[in-house]
């Protein structure tokens, strides 16, 4: 159930200790019983040296995501950064030659797509809204770490990671003064090509702007911790489930239970899947939790969209799936974008204007994206609150590299964020 004012909702509980506050906050998002307990800690982040009686804040809450071009003029730069990213599209020694070539060729086509969704990606607007709303809630439920200051760091669009880092330093974090920052991935499910890439970029700029020291050195640089995945957070699951229920309610009572729920996530190249990437399993975990919350009211499938280029990608593809079901006479379908937290060209263009339009049947619909959803923003606050309370530097899972990983960048950035002593498979 959505909570309009978290403090009013928790008023029954004594707010005198942080543990009572923790359970009260989790209570409003979901039932406490279903909340999976976090596993043992990785590195413990040392408290920022401050007067023991005052708040340990300010705390910088940095929302990391890929970003998108806000105008069609920004599409060229967006794509050239994207195709230059060897964590996303590894082109080997030819990267600096092929990257600009492919992005230049692709720009006009992708510009048309952004023009068709209103002239740009709404991801910046939503990220800024979500992060600032979350920080308002955190200021109320976590006064120990207040004030919480929202930042956005995009991998391929403005505000870029380096701009965010420069702003942090300007705002008095680091630069000899210490301070705490939380890198909060906005990809619920971890992939080395998405969250991994953003963390590698963050580590690169940390090294360039603050030197090579460890994450916990006493020289007054920023102490970072990471929220690296949250695929089954009950508030996330609840927000998805409510949006699905709202769309199911638009069908007649007679047809409703036979509507097929088609969860759709951005696909991955099979080379990334076979390297051992955790994303497919984590996406499946989100889907299963949402279905459990819906009491398996409808039949469902998970399918994969937006593959790019000629290599093999994880399937079945969303567009084929819709076509095949419609051909079989199953014309009541609800598409659910399950791996991204706001609208973007893959929902507004690929799903709405291609897949659904081409299906040519009014029974093929899409669940709304999370965007400004209150239940979702409260879930973000709950995830951040628990992280701040836990003292963890990141999840245990982050310390294990993919079995096929050969990347020096992954190694170095994990050494930094996870802490040397907690890395499990570093060689
Ligand atoms: C969880 C989400 C995403 C994963 C995983 C992901 C992997 C991935 N993507 C590419 C290549 C491209 N992606 C592009 C755009 C794009 N990708 C995602 C999300 C994920 N990508 C989104 C939300 C967007 C759109 C951004 C917006 O509009 O807001 C593009 C650019 C568009 C195009 O040229 O088609 C490319 C290219 C790869 C190779 C990959 C896995 C390795
Ligand atoms: S590619 Fe997964 S840890 Fe490096
Ligand atoms: Fe993508």
pTM for this predicted structure? 0.88
SS3 content of the chain, % helix, strand, coil (to 5): 50, 10, 40
CATH code of the region 19-66+122-230+374-424? 3.40.50.1400
Nearest to 394 by CA among 136, 143, 199: 199
How far is the C-alpha of 195 from the C-alpha of 87, rounded, in Å? 10
Considering only CA atoms, which of 186, 142, 168, 195 is closest in space to residue 390? Answer: 142
Q: Where are the alpha helices (DSSP H) in 117-257?
A: 123-141, 161-170, 195-210, 234-248, 253-256
Tell me what pLDDT residue 8 has: 34
3-state secondary structure (DSSP) of residue 359:
helix
Give me the CATH topology for the region 234-366.
Answer: Rossmann fold (3.40.50)
Write phi, then psi, for 204 (nearest 5 degrees): -60, -45
Pocket of ligand 2 (CB under 6 A): 192, 196, 275, 401-402, 405, 407, 410
Query: How many whole angstroms from 194 Cα to the centroid of ligand 1?
Result: 9
Half-sphere exposure of 214 (CA within 13 A, CB side): 12
**For residue 193, which atom of ligand 2 is closest to its CA?**
1
Nearest ligand atom owner, CA of 344: 1
For the ranges 109-123, 177-191, 232-246, 342-356, which has the lowest average pLDDT?
342-356
Res 16: pLDDT: 33
Residue nearest to atom 1 of ligand 2 (CA): 405
Q: 260 forms bridges with which residues in the sheet? A: 333
pLDDT at 217: 67
pLDDT, one tens digit per residue, over 114-169 is: 999 999 999 999 999 999 999 999 999 999 999 999 999 999 999 999 999 999 99
* SS3 at position 312: coil
Ligand with the closest atom to the CA of 187? 1
Q: Is 420 a residue whose pLDDT tops 90?
A: no
Task: Provide residues with CB under 6 Å of ligand 1.
Answer: 66, 68, 79, 82, 88-89, 106, 110, 121, 123, 187, 191, 193-194, 266, 268-269, 272, 279, 308, 339-340, 344-346
- Count of other CB atoms within 10 angstroms of residue 296: 11
Confidence check: pLDDT of 40 > 90: no
Which residues 6+ apart lie within 8 Å of 138 measured at CB? 59, 61, 145, 146, 148, 381, 384, 385, 388
Question: How far is Cα 252 from Cα 250, in angstroms, rounded to an integer?
Answer: 7
ipTM of the complex: 0.94
Q: Please tell me the distance between residue 88's alpha carbon and the centre of ligand 3 in angstroms.
A: 8
| Residues listed for the chain | 427
Residue 382 annotated in active site? yes
Residue 368 corresponds to which tokens in the numbers above?
């709304």
Q: Which of 139, 343, 382, 387 is catalytic?
A: 382
The pLDDT confidence band at residue 202, using thresholds 50, 70 and 90, is: very high
Q: Where are the domains of the chain?
A: 19-66+122-230+374-424, 72-116, 234-366
The pLDDT-based confidence of 279 (bands split at 50, 70, 90) is very high
Which residue has a Cα nearest atom 33 of ligand 1?
A: 110
Nearest to 25 by CA among 42, 49, 5, 45: 5
The pick from 89, 189, 192, 274 for probing ligand 2's pocket by mutation, whose C-beta has the most ligand atoms within 8 angstroms, reads 192
Tell me the two tokens of residue 324. 């095949």
Ligand 2 atom 3: the closest Cα is on which residue?
401
pLDDT at residue 326 is higher than 70: yes
Residue keyed to tokens 């990809």: 187
Gap between the Cα atoms of 420 and 401, Å rounded = 13
Ligand nearest to the Cα of 82, by number: 1
pLDDT at 218: 65
- Report the 10 Å Cβ neighbour count for 240: 28
Instruction: Tell me which ligand sits closest to the C-alpha of residue 66.
Output: 1
Residue-level pLDDT at 55: 72
Return the ligand 1 atom nearest residue 122 CA.
29
Q: Which atom of ligand 1 is closest in space to residue 339's alpha carbon?
A: 1
Mutate to test the pocket of ligand 2, among 203, 399, 402 (most ligand atoms within 8 A of CB): 402
Backbone phi and psi for residue 118, each to the nearest 5 degrees, phi listed first: 105, 5
pLDDT of residue 350: 84
- CA 411 to ligand 2: nearest atom: 4
- Check residues 17 and 123 and name the one with the higher pLDDT: 123
Contact in structure between 404 and 275 (CB atoms under 8 Å): yes
The answer, yes or no, to whether residue 43 has pLDDT greater than 50, is: no
Domains 19-66+122-230+374-424 and 234-366 equal at CATH topology level: yes
Query: Do the Cβ atoms of 140 and 9 come closer than 8 Å?
Result: no
pLDDT in tens, 87-113: 999 999 999 999 999 999 999 999 999
148 carries an active-site annotation: no
Band of the pLDDT at 64, cuts 50, 70, 90? Answer: very high
Tell me the best of 189, 196, 203 to mutate to test the pocket of ligand 2, counting ligand atoms within 8 Å of each CB and taking the most: 196
Active-site position among 148, 233, 266, 387: 233
Instruction: Measure 373 CA to ligand 1 centroid, in angstroms.
Output: 23
- Could you tell me the pLDDT band of residue 422, with boundaries at 50, 70 and 90? low
Percent share of the chain, pLDDT over 70: 85
Q: Which atom of ligand 2 is nearest to the CA of 406?
A: 4
């Amino acid at each position: 159930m959505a909570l309009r004012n978290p403090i009013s909702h928790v008023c029954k509980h004594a707010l005198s200790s942080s543990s009572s506050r923790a359970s009260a906050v989790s209570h409003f998002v979901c039932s406490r019983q279903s909340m999976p307990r976090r596993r043992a800690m990785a590195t413990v982040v040392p408290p920022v040296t401050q007067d023991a009686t005052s708040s340990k804040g300010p705390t910088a809450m940095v929302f990391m995501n890929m970003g998108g071009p806000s105008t069609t003029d920004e599409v060229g730069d967006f794509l050239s950064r994207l195709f230059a990213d060897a964590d996303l599209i590894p082109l080997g020694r030819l990267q600096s030659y092929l990257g600009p070539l492919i992005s230049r060729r692709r720009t006009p086509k992708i510009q048309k797509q952004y023009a068709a969704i209103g002239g740009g990606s709404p991801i910046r607007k939503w990220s800024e809204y979500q992060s600032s709303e979350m920080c308002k809630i955190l200021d109320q439920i976590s006064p120990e770490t207040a004030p919480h200051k929202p930042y956005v760091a995009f991998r391929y669009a403005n505000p870029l990671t380096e701009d965010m880092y420069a702003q942090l330093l300007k705002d008095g974090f680091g630069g000899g003064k210490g301070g705490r920052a939380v890198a909060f991935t906005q990809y619920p499910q971890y992939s080395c090509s998405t969250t991994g890439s953003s963390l590698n970029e963050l580590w690169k700029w940390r090294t360039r702007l603050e030197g090579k020291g460890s994450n916990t050195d006493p020289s007054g640089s920023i102490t970072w911790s990471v929220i690296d995945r949250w695929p089954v957070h009950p508030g996330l699951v609840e927000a998805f489930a409510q949006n699905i229920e709202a769309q199911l309610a638009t069908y007649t009572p007679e047809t409703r239970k036979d509507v097929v729920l088609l969860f759709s996530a951005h696909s991955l190249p099979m080379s990334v899947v076979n390297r051992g990437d955790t994303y497919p399993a984590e996406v499946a975990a989100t889907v299963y939790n949402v279905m459990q919350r819906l009491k398996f009211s409808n039949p469902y499938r998970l399918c994969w969209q937006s593959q790019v280029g000629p290599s093999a990608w994880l399937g079945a593809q969303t567009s084929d799936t819709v076509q095949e079901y419609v051909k079989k006479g199953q014309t009541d379908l609800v598409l659910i974008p399950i791996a991204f937290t706001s609208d973007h060209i893959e929902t507004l263009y690929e799903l709405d204007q291609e897949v659904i339009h081409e299906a040519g049947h009014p029974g093929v619909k899409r669940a709304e994206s999370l965007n400004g959803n209150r239940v979702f923003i409260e879930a973000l606050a709950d995830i951040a609150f628990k992280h701040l309370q836990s003292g963890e530097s990141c999840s245990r899972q982050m310390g294990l590299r993919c079995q096929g990983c050969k990347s020096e960048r992954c190694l170095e950035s994990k050494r930094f964020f996870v802490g040397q002593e907690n890395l499990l498979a570093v060689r």
